[in-house]
């Protein structure tokens, strides 16, 4: 297999089409042609392309090759230290697979911001399935991941998944009662789970202003930006 692309077996099995990833940092037209040739030779249907926006014209060039920008993701970091949450009527506990059905409303609030929902070739249903699978994985892989749910006297009001590597981080957070402090209670649990050390969150979709403001209010600061693009190899190059 070419070192230009990285096949993604899990995504391939989940979505039912051959998928691979390509690093698009510092690419020029010749390298883009080599990447596309390698993907076609491998029978890939969809390429995920990623790059950091360091060069003014790189993203434009890439899109002329048929890549479609589906996400501008921003990663946030928070320095070590305690987290003083807002007062909240929500409590937090470890989540289980039995919670999945009741978490469906919270999952829907997150899936709408997914890059898979932004790409009609995957679509909103695929984004929902992806988030359900993400939550299921966090419930099962308790060594490297954690699943927590927020609840009050009406039932479950939010969900978050955390990861341990390479640094403790929030993967996803979704709540059904914004403004009640449920999300803050979940962050407090994440800080405790990470032993109060340096932590990260995201990548959050840049278009999701409410989440960006919420992270900023809770002491997180933007540290990285990444473009994510999809290239469906049965589509012609874009006419830009």
Q: What percent of the chain has pLDDT over 90?
A: 68
Do residues 191 and 180 make contact, with C-beta atoms less than 8 angstroms apart?
no
Is the predicted pLDDT of residue 141 greater than 90, yes or no?
A: no
Mean pLDDT, residues 104-115:
92
Mean pLDDT check: name the lowest of 22-36, 49-63, 137-151. Answer: 49-63
On whether the pTM is more than 0.85, the answer is yes
154-213 pLDDT, tens digit each: 999 999 999 988 889 999 999 998 888 889 889 888 888 888 788 898 899 999 999 999
Instruction: Give the relative orientation of helices 124-140 and 104-111 as an angle to the nearest 10 degrees.
Output: 120
Tell me the average pLDDT of the chain. Answer: 90
199's tokens: 């932590």
Q: Residue 64's pLDDT band (boundaries 50, 70, 90)? A: very high
pLDDT (0 to 100) of residue 238: 59
What are the structural domains, with CATH classification, of the chain?
6-72+226-232 (3.30.110), 82-196 (3.40.630.30)
Q: Tell which residue, 158, 110, 164, has the closest CA to residue 133.
A: 110
Query: Which three-class secondary structure state does DSSP give residue 8?
Result: coil
Is the predicted pLDDT of residue 1 greater than 60, yes or no?
A: no
pLDDT (0 to 100) of residue 199: 87
Cα(107)–Cα(176) distance, integer angstroms: 9
Side-by-side strand order, sheet with 6-7: 6-7, 19-23, 46-51, 221-232, 68-78, 199-205, 169-175, 155-163, 145-152, 91-94
């Amino acid at each position: 297999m070419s070192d230009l692309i990285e096949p993604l077996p899990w995504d391939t099995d989940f979505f039912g089409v051959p998928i691979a990833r390509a690093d698009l940092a510092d690419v020029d037209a010749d390298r883009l042609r080599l990447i596309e040739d390698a993907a076609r030779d491998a029978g890939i249907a969809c390429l995920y392309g990623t790059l950091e926006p360091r060069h003014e014209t790189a993203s434009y060039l890439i899109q002329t090759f048929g890549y479609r920008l589906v996400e501008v993701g921003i990663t946030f970091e928070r320095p070590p230290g305690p987290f003083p949450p807002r007062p909240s009527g929500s409590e937090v506990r470890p989540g289980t697979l039995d919670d999945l059905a009741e978490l469906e409303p919270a999952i829907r609030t997150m899936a709408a911001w997914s890059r898979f929902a932004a790409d009609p070739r995957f679509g909103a249903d695929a984004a929902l399935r992806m988030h359900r699978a993400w939550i299921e994985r966090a419930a099962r892989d308790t060594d490297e991941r954690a699943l927590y749910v927020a609840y009050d006297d009406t039932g479950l009001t939010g969900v978050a998944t955390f990861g341990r590597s390479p640094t403790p981080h929030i993967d996803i957070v979704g709540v059904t009662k914004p403004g009640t402090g449920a999300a803050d209670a979940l962050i407090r649990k994440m800080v405790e789970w990470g032993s109060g050390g340096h932590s990260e969150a995201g990548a959050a979709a840049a278009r999701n202003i409410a989440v960006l403001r919420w992270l900023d209010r809770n002491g997180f600061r933007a540290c990285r930006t990444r473009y994510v693009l999809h290239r469906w190899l049965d589509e012609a190059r874009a006419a830009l």
